[in-house]
Amino acid sequence: MTARILSIGTALPDTRVEQSTLRDLFAAQPGFDRKSQRLVGAAFDAAAIDTRHVVLPQLAGRAADGLGVRDGDTLLMPPTGARNDEYRRTAPALFAEASRAALAGSGYEADAVTHVVTVSCTGMFAPGPDYHLVRDLGLSPTVERYHLGFIGCAAAIPALRLAARIVGADPAAVVLVACAELCSLHWQTSSHPDQIVAASVFADGAGAAVVASGDSSHDGLDLDDFATHVTDEGEKDMAWTVGDSGFEMTLTPEVPRIIGREISAIAADVVGELDRVDAWAVHPGGRSILDRVENALGLDATALAPSRDVLRRHGNMSSATLLFILRDLLADAARVEGDRIAALAFGPGLTVEAAKITVRRAAG
């Protein structure tokens, strides 16, 4: 039995902020010399991002309760505990909003959900997001719950793989997959190039999908196959560790170079014949990553338009981002019955996750 994504819901924090506003704020930090300021300007301007959403209104210059991250134009460095408290306060609502939207389009009521898979790498607490979804959505107290943490930007694909395995073993299962990331909580006011690059791309958002056995009465995305690949290099180039002042992201310039060098062989291995792919859902870790993938695979300039559009409007929302791209592909009337989608995402390791997906349109 093939598992199918029946619907995808998304959610964003209320605060929408221009990339130029964040650039100017970050460049104005005390202790940044002219070289650092030029690096900030170059990184933010080259990111191909127009706007991002954040759970911290102070980043947009608005007064707000909760975590204090700004004193005038000076960004503060709250301790990790305070940042995690803000995650615990704000993340459950985004998980719930995206999940309600996914359920609303799936044809299933909340009491039909049999399994919950939650994903996040930007906070932790127990009972966690999986538990809160049971309470917030009124799910059955007997729902099986799983949480995937610290897999990073690639995590939506392992979550969908787990959902597909569950449905494959139990065709009556209805699996709710929900990803939420609050990357803005972990901004580091450092002039180190890695931290500048991280600050220039990461944003907040949530996505959810309902996965179940498909039938001809409902549009959807069949989850046909999955693969994972660990590259020979990159273990130290993309990393996510817990520091005293938030989670510390390492994202070096080697990441797009490694992906550019290795993605052709990996894609041929895990996706198969590339000329049989009708659409691409590539996680936009940054503009340079998309450029490297496009060039290495010899793709048409429009092939990664869905990924570039999500990056432009929302930034890199870590694990949630891929669900935004798949949502847009599912809603695209140009995607017809039988179209083949190749999904690729990149996480710490450096790990490449891939999925083969087929578009299904309701009969008639």
pLDDT tens profile 2-49: 999 999 999 999 999 999 999 999 999 998 999 999 999 999 999 999
Q: Could you tell me the end-to-end alpha-carbon distance of the chain, in angstroms, rounded to an integer?
A: 22
Tokens of 121: 């790498």
Instruction: Tell me how many domains the chain contains.
Output: 1
Distance (Å) of CA 255 to CA 69, 130, 182, 308, 312 = 29, 31, 22, 18, 20
SS3 content of the chain, % helix, strand, coil (to 5): 40, 25, 30
Which DSSP string do the residues of 150-190 spell out, in sequence order?
A: S-GGGTHHHHHHHHHHHHHH-TT-EEEEEEEEEGGGG----
Which of 121, 153, 179, 183 is labelled catalytic? 153
d(CA 42, CA 48): 11
- Among the listed residues 155, 137, 247, the one whose alpha carbon sits nearest the alpha carbon of residue 146: 155
- Does 145 reside within a domain? no
- Does 23 reside within a domain? no
Tokens of 78: 């709250």
- Looking at residue 266, what is its pLDDT? 81
- Looking at residue 364, what is its pLDDT? 65
Does 153 participate in catalysis according to the annotation? Answer: yes
- Does 44 reside within a domain? no
Q: Which residues of the chain have pLDDT under 70?
A: 364
- Does 327 reside within a domain? yes
- Among the listed residues 279, 209, 197, the one whose alpha carbon sits nearest the alpha carbon of residue 238: 197
- Are 52 and 22 in contact, with CB atoms under 8 Å apart? yes
- Does 65 reside within a domain? no
Helix (H) or strand (E) holding 48: none
- Does 205 reside within a domain? no
- Does 349 reside within a domain? yes
Q: Which residue range forms the structural domain that includes residue 347?
A: 220-360
- Looking at residue 208, what is its pLDDT? 98
- Does 102 reside within a domain? no
- Looking at residue 190, what is its pLDDT? 87
Backbone angles phi, psi at 194, to 5 degrees: -60, -45
Those residues with Cβ within 8 angstroms of residue 334's Cβ, 6 or more apart along the chain or in another chain: none
One-letter identity of residue 91 = A
pTM of the model: 0.96
Looking at the DSSP assignment, which residues form a beta bridge with residue 344?
Answer: 282, 354
d(CA 246, CA 139): 32
Residue 343 maps to which CATH number?
3.40.47.10
